[in-house]
A and B are shown apart, each in its own frame.
Chain A
Amino acid sequence: MSARHWATRLHLPTLGVAAVIVAGWVLLSWRYGAYVLPSPLAVARGFAEIVASGEIWRHTVASLGRILVGFGGAVVVALLAGLAAFLSRTARGVIHDFLSVLNSTSVFVWIVISIIWFGLSNWAPIFTTFMITLPVVASNIVEGVANVDRRLLEMGDVYRLSGRQKFTAIVVPSTLPYLVVGMKVGFGLALKVSVVAEIFGVTSGIGYVMNYSREILATQMVFVWALVMILVMTATDRLVFDAVSRRLDRWR
């Protein structure tokens, strides 16, 4: 293996740029002070604090719990939409049209509506997450269903497979890669959106604690919780979605 290969594997170029950015960050934090830009050291110390106190888990689990319900619900409804799209061409058209409407609706619309409907409760961020991730996951699944190879379905007809057999043997495996991509993108979106929705009305979660830190002028904690979000996102991508994709690609 060449030296260049190892350098790339360890992301050395990226780390180099990161070092330059951190150096710039240190200089700027000296210039502007801890309220505007806390130093990297203060952020590291803050991170160690919430890990030691266990606070990191309380808020991360609260956010992930809401995501699980909102995003999980979106996946379930998206799967039902995919099934309907498989069974009926008319349903596919209707679903397609509704998804493009949902897709072009702003996050803020759902946040405001959810506060009106559900008040200041857990259901506000859950509902917002649901409404924002549903079109992303569902349009992927519906596209997957529409892209099932007609020639394979015709083969199924030749050998007289039942509708159920064609569904499980042909449609589901062809659609799975689309589902995984939809869920990967949807989950990333869910994390970003639910955190915004948590600013209003709940007393736990990463969004809540970030906004709270801002109010008590603990700017370094805003940076700490942003770091937590990045870590959660990277970890789920690597540990869950990449692993699932690899498993799906076994037969290639």
Chain B
Amino acid sequence: MAVTLEVAEVGKDFLIPVIDSVSFGVEAGEFVCLLGPNGCGKTTLLRIVGGLEPPTRGRVLLGGEPVSGSGRHTKKVGVVFQEDRLLPWMTLRENVELVLEPLGLGAEARRQAADRHLRLAGLAGFEAYHPARVSGGMRQRAAIARALAIEPDLLLMDEPFGALDAQNRRIMQQEVRRIWRETGRTILFVTHAIDEAVAIGTTLIMLSARPARIREMVRNDGHLERGRLIDDLNTMIMEEVERQQGVVGPA
């Protein structure tokens, strides 16, 4: 059952307008990267899509159901935050098992699903470890395993590798790409790193400086030369950063 995401003229004000108006659609199985300068409202947009914050304007539909407002939608959304947000007093396995409880699975089914997804995230053998005993990269893997374990219709990732060093970051990018290929999940991935977005996304959405609009939407299916694409996106993001800092007036 293919579930699509539809973001329709979404805007958000926090005293000042943060997101002007953003519309886009995501097909089931797509890997969309949301790009933009720091502070442009990427995370806010992701939180609105995840139903963690209501939009000021517009609406978000997941499989045709609105994600915010009264009455919870029936679709499942997994979120990987910038921080791992694991419960430090639980083992990695217990952390994953916990989010399976609301789905009504029995203890044995929860355990099997938790171990399967920890293995998928490359954590076989670490199920009984507490978060403090493993590295930052492994904690983020566990957070990914937790998000995947609920078999989400949409997986949201908010700069999940921002706190990792360059080597771990590259490894985790490849891992996410592999997991996406193996599971076919629909992913919306927020990042400010262009090389990261080009390396893993099938569709790239570049947001403008605040208040955010869509500056550019690019299909990244190999028809564009990679080095050229990175250069173009870099030029764009530089322009937006400069505009955000007031170096040049609004276009």
Contacts and interface: CB of A to CB of B under 8 A. Distances in A.
Contact of B77 (A158, A161, A165): A158
Interface in B65-90: 72, 77-79, 81, 83, 85, 87-90
Interface residues of A, number: 16
Interface centre among A157, A160, A162, A252 (most CB of B within 10 A): A160
Contact of A170 (B87, B99, B146): B87
B109 interface: no
A173 B89 contact: yes
B111 interface: no
Contact of A165 (B50, B72, B102, B146): B102
A159 B130 contact: no
A173 B86 CA distance: 13
Nearest to A155: B85
B243 to A, nearest CB: 31
Contacts, number: 46
* Chain B interface, >50% SS class: loop
Contacts of B98: 159, 161, 165, 169
B212 interface: no
Contacts of A160: 72, 102
* Chain A interface, >50% SS class: helix
Contacts of B85: 151-152, 154-155
A251 B83 contact: no
Given A159-B102, A160-B102, A161-B98, A251 B89 contact: yes
Contacts of A157: 52
Nearest to A154: B52
Interface residues of B, number: 22
B13 interface: no
B132 interface: yes
Contacts of B79: 155, 158
B15 to A, nearest CB: 21
A55 to B, nearest CB: 45
A159 B72 CA distance: 12
Interface string A162-182: 100100011001000000000
Nearest to A252: B132
A162 B72 CA distance: 13
B7 interface: no
Nearest to A160: B102
Nearest to B83: A151
Given A158-B50, A251-B132, A165 B83 contact: no
Interface string A135-163: 00000000000000001101101111110
A170 B78 CA distance: 19
25 contacts: A151-B81, A151-B83, A152-B85, A152-B87, A154-B52, A155-B79, A155-B81, A155-B85, A157-B52, A158-B50, A158-B52, A158-B78, A158-B79, A159-B99, A160-B72, A160-B102, A165-B98, A169-B90, A173-B87, A173-B89, A251-B88, A251-B90, A251-B132, A252-B88, A252-B132
- The 5 A-B pairs with the shortest beta carbon distances in the complex, nearest first, are A159-B99, A251-B130, A155-B85, A173-B89, A160-B102
Interface of B: 50, 52, 72, 77-79, 81, 83, 85, 87-90, 98-99, 101-102, 130-132, 146, 150
Interface of A: 151-152, 154-155, 157-162, 165, 169-170, 173, 251-252
